[in-house]
């Protein structure tokens, strides 16, 4: 597909000129603008108010030096980022990613998508994202702590519980959030809900750890139910073996499916009997080791070097839960040839545009990240509510709210797709539904 509308093509050309070479960011913007053609035709008021020109430009972008001392006494320098993308409907909200591939383009694509995702959750959260090109792999606990403290010393100048509330993403879980929270509290002399994904002893929410993976399966369940189908008896392939992948695997299994393959950046395991999640959790959450270890502990499982090979494993449902552009057009065609019926994105932008087009062209049900993985940030929103009330809900209460939110996201995306003439296209539906709420808020608040 291409952007045919002249006005949208102009907006995109401007974005391309201003952000030359930022390929992930341009990819994310292109996909969204492409789906706005029916909106531009229907909503002259939005065009007149310059909403689309404004929404593609972040409100604020900060880049900073993060210096820290490693265990050998050597000074290390990383580059930190925070993009505060859009605050029309609430304080900036979005995760922090620690991975060597992090750069301005990656942070801006994630921040841009976060705005629409957060809007879809129905909760009052604007969009933001942050991170650093720090590689947590092989670092000692002390090194992780010193990095997180240095990172927060600078980040603390820009965030706050009513301004911008970061959380986890790749490379950032409860341990890193703990160190960052501690540093913020110390710097500000203030105990507030400035971060989400906190530990349960200091303001974290039950079910936040599980929320993205569980939410992905709740969303997938809605997609299947709309076609009179369910998880029962399906073979599922899940890429990654981090926070999102593990809890997606757990819920898919609870729903009666069999998860036959999972991966990390080195390779993938295949287990025809269905993955043993206790073993995966032990390897990944406790030992922080490689997934390769699995085959030494579980009989009948095999390991293949190279993570992309996972898409050659035959399955009914594929849930990419690792990283952006991890599933390309050729890999999509392999999945289709092997009979895949549904793909839902746990990671952010895991499917390339060619892959998305292949799935949609072949009639594979496709659940886009902005909608399908919104359960994590939605539960972060619930953590913020609990922090404001100085109260905690039970696991069951949070999980019930999460299920309700995922249902409403599915409904909003599928209804918007229908209303704007692209029935069954959840990519367009999620983009449009998420956008319209932000657009209304921006128009009400005046030009800024």
* Shorter beta-carbon distance to ligand NDP: residue 8 or 402: 402
Give alpha helix (H) positions in 56-140: 104-120
Q: Which of 78, 241, 334, 425 binds ligand NDP (CB under 6 A)?
A: 241
* Binding at 264: pick from ligand NDP, ligand 2IT, none (beta carbon under 5-8 Å per type): ligand NDP
Stretch 183-242 residues interacting with ligand 2IT (CB under 6 A): 196
Dihedral angle sign, alpha carbons of residues 49, 52, 53, 56: positive
DSSP 3-state assignment of 92? strand
Size of the site for ligand 2IT (CB under 6 A): 11
Q: Measured at the alpha carbon of residue 10, what is the angle toward residues 423 and 369, in degrees to the nearest 5?
A: 40
Catalytic annotation on 370? no
Sheet with 235-239: strands ordered across = 302-305, 267-270, 258-263, 235-239, 317-320, 342-344, 365-367
Residues in the chain: 448
Token code pair at residue 401? 């709210």
Buried b (16+ CB within 10 A) or exposed e, 128-159: bbbbbbbebeebeeebbbbbbbbbbbbbbebb
* Shorter beta-carbon distance to ligand 2IT: residue 5 or 325: 325
Q: Which of 22, 34, 37, 169 binds ligand 2IT (CB under 6 A)?
A: 169
Label residue 59 exposed, middle or buried (CB < 10 Å: 0-12, 13-18, 19+).
Answer: middle
* Residue 429 within binding range of ligand NDP, rule CB under 6 A: no
Q: Which of 376, 387, 427, 442 binds ligand 2IT (CB under 6 A)?
A: 376
Catalytic residue among 93, 108, 117, 129: 129
Token code pair at residue 197? 């994904």
* Residue 204 within binding range of ligand NDP, rule CB under 6 A: no
* Residue 348 within binding range of ligand NDP, rule CB under 6 A: yes
Q: Which of 377, 382, 438, 439 binds ligand 2IT (CB under 6 A)?
A: 377
* Binding at 93: pick from ligand NDP, ligand 2IT, none (beta carbon under 5-8 Å per type): ligand 2IT
State the residues that interact with ligand NDP by CB under 6 A: 99, 101, 168-171, 212, 240-245, 264-266, 307, 321-323, 326, 346-348, 373, 376
State the residues that interact with ligand 2IT by CB under 6 A: 93-95, 117, 167, 169, 196, 348, 376-377, 380
């Amino acid at each position: 597909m291409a952007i045919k509308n002249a006005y949208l093509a102009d907006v995109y050309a401007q974005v391309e000129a201003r952000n030359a070479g930022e390929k992930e960011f341009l990819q994310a913007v292109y996909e969204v603008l492409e789906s706005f053609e029916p909106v531009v035709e229907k909503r002259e008021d939005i065009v007149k108010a310059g909403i689309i020109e404004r929404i593609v430009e972040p409100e604020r972008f900060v880049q900073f030096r993060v210096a820290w001392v490693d265990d050998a006494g050597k000074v290390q320098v990383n580059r930190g980022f925070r993009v505060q993308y859009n605050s029309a409907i609430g304080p900036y909200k979005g995760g922090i990613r620690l991975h060597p591939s992090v750069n301005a383009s990656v942070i801006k694509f994630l921040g841009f998508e976060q705005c629409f995702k957060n809007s879809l959750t129905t909760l009052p959260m604007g969009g933001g994202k942050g991170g650093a090109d720090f590689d947590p792999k092989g670092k000692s606990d002390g090194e992780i702590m010193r990095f997180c403290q240095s990172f927060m010393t600078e980040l603390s100048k820009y965030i706050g519980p009513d301004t911008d509330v970061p959380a986890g993403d790749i490379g950032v879980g409860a341990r890193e959030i703990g160190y960052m929270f501690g540093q913020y509290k110390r710097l500000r002399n203030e105990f507030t809900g400035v971060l989400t994904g906190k530990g349960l002893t200091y303001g974290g929410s039950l079910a936040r750890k599980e929320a993205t993976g569980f939410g992905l399966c709740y969303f997938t369940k809605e997609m299947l139910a709309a076609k009179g189908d369910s998880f029962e008896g399906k073979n599922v392939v899940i890429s990654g073996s981090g926070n999102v992948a593990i809890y997606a695997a757990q819920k898919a299994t609870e729903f009666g499916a069999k998860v036959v393959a999972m991966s990390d950046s080195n390779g993938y395991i295949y287990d025809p009997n269905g993955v043993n999640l206790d073993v995966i959790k032990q390897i990944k959450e406790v030992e922080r080791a490689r997934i390769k270890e699995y085959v030494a502990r579980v009989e009948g499982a095999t390991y293949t070097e190279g993570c992309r090979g996972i898409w050659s494993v035959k399955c009914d449902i594929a849930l990419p839960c690792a990283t952006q552009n991890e599933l390309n057009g050729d890999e999509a065609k392999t999945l289709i040839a092997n009979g895949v019926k549904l793909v839902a994105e746990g990671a952010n932008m895991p499917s390339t545009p060619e892959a998305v087009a292949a799935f949609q062209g072949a009639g594979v049900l496709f659940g886009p990240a902005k909608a399908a993985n919104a359960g994590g940030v939605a539960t972060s929103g619930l953590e913020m509510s609990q922090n404001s009330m100085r109260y905690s809900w039970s696991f069951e209460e949070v999980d019930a709210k999460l299920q309700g939110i995922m249902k409403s996201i599915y409904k909003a995306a599928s209804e918007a797709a229908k209303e704007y003439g692209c029935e069954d296209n959840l990519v367009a539906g999620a983009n449009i539904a998420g956008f319209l709420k932000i657009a209304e808020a921006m128009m009400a608040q005046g030009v800024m």
